[in-house]
Amino acid sequence: MQIIPLLYLIVFPLLWLLSFINATFKKYSINVLSTFNLLVWMYAVYSIKIVMDIAQFFYSLKGSESDSQFLQLVSTEFLLKQCLKVILPFFFLVPSCRKNLLFSLLVLGSFCWSMDWSLPDWSALFFTIPYCFSLFSATYALLWLLKEHPSQKVAYMYNPFQLAVKYIRYYVTAINGKGHGVHSPFVFDLIVKVLNDQQNHPAYQNIEPIRQDLLSNHQPITIEDFGAGSRVKQSPVRKIATIANSSLKPKKFSQLLFRLVNYFKPATIVELGTSLGITSAYLAAANNNAKVITMEGSTAVAEIAQSNFNRLNLHNIKLVTGNFDYTLSQTLNDINNIDFAFIDGNHRYEPTVRYFNQILSKSSQHTLIILDDIHWSEEMEGAWEEVKNHPAVTLTIDLFFIGLVFLRKEQQQKEHFVIRF
Ligand SMILES: C[S@@+](CC[C@H](N)C(=O)[O-])C[C@H]1O[C@@H](n2cnc3c(N)ncnc32)[C@H](O)[C@@H]1O
């Protein structure tokens, strides 16, 4: 009995069972990624087996035959079968091939032929079906992981030229920032009282010196790479100044967040992406009665954020450290209702939409959800579109660098504003 098909037969149903548990009972937090990782391992085992088969074949011929006989023995059929074993699983990754029944059967048939599995051997079928299935899944997982690898992430963002073109288009087409022509009283008030509020609030003077300190701090720290959150290619050791320079929301938008909290007076605020704590500090300083729950994956970065909160005497912030993929659902379990959320981390399509939906599950019609960097990349623009089209969303305001999402029931007809800010 072949050990590898047997291994597949045991591991494969187990993996799918785990995925099922993960999807159904999310609290167990068995991450799909670990399933994918295991599948990739299986793919590696499979590849090693093919290489070993080839090596063993050549070894068995060596010495026993003359050179010409040796070459004859390396039959075309053998080589063809080895090639098919490697290539065929990839055919199933092309949706149009996968959906074509005849083609799928052809691929499966060729695969069985390359593996020397014959139909009359019914007992082999018992192993063959899950083996093929897991192999194709493993191939898919491998490609998926390669695409998800951190080195690939930076490439997804628009280049500075594309961003500039997009910004110019936004600037030219956006509604005048003074609110002229805006008929919605809610949006008009927001523009006049919040977007255009030029007051110099005392909190600004407390927080901005901390940003300056961070920008001039050249101490290196070791950080974990979490998501596509920075415009700069990630390196595990980075200077605090570099992080401050590339990751923090500029003064203009941090202070807008302050004014939004000041205006709407949310009781519970959730922030995804603390970094060094500047926006969290603004959110907390805007309303001492609000509870700010901010989340950060990188421990070293979170420690600096916490020291900044202490320095600012902000005691209404709870800092949660860990990957949002795990911490968000755990944190949301302890919250009844979110009034204000700022999603500023892991700027990819799938996680952004997922975090949005998770936050939505704890939202009311008075909740304001803010998405950062909505035009940062094709994926983020896709996520922004998805959010705009969500049935619960009734009003959105695109300020190019951030997007405001309202769920107000009074808003009878969905409206999407693009406002110059
Ligand atoms: C753009 S920064 C946040 C900046 C901050 N809001 C500010 O402007 O002051 C995004 C942060 O999110 C964190 N992050 C990204 N993806 C994450 C994930 N999946 N889990 C936990 N943290 C993550 C990164 O480590 C990074 O520090």
pTM of the model: 0.66
In the chain, which residues have pLDDT < 50? 1, 26-30, 150-155, 229-233
C-beta of residue 395 within 8 angstroms of C-beta of residue 408: yes
The CA 371 to ligand 1 mean position distance, Å, reads: 13
Give tens-digit pLDDT for 160-205: 888 999 999 999 999 887 878 788 999 999 999 999 999 999 999 9
The strand order across the sheet containing 338-343 reads 317-321, 291-296, 268-272, 338-343, 363-372, 402-406, 395-398, 415-418
pLDDT confidence of residue 360 = 97
Domains of the chain: residue spans and CATH:
3-148 (no CATH), 153-418 (3.40.50.150)
- Radius of gyration for the chain, computed over Cα atoms and rounded to the nearest angstrom: 28
pLDDT confidence of residue 209 = 97
- Sorted by sequence, the CB contacts under 8 Å of residue 261 that are 6+ apart come out as 269, 282, 283, 286, 287, 290, 340
C-beta of residue 93 within 8 angstroms of C-beta of residue 146: no
The CA 273 to ligand 1 mean position distance, Å, reads: 3
Q: By three-state DSSP, how is residue 293 classified?
A: strand
- Sorted by sequence, the CB contacts under 8 Å of residue 242 that are 6+ apart come out as 232
pLDDT confidence of residue 3 = 61
| CA separation for the pair 294, 269 (Å, rounded) | 8
Ligand 1 pocket test, pick from 33, 272, 372 with the greatest ligand atom count within 8 Å of Cβ, gives: 272
**Closest ligand 1 atom to 253 CA:** 8
**Closest ligand 1 atom to 224 CA:** 25
Q: Which of 286, 277, 269, 283 is nearest to 308 (CA)?
A: 277
Kindly provide the b/e burial profile for residues 45-65, where b requires at least 16 CB atoms within 10 angstroms of the residue's own CB: ebeeeeeeeeeeeeeeeeeee
Question: 284 is written with which tokens?
Answer: 């907390």
pLDDT confidence of residue 175 = 85
| Cα-to-chain-centroid distance, residue 119 | 43
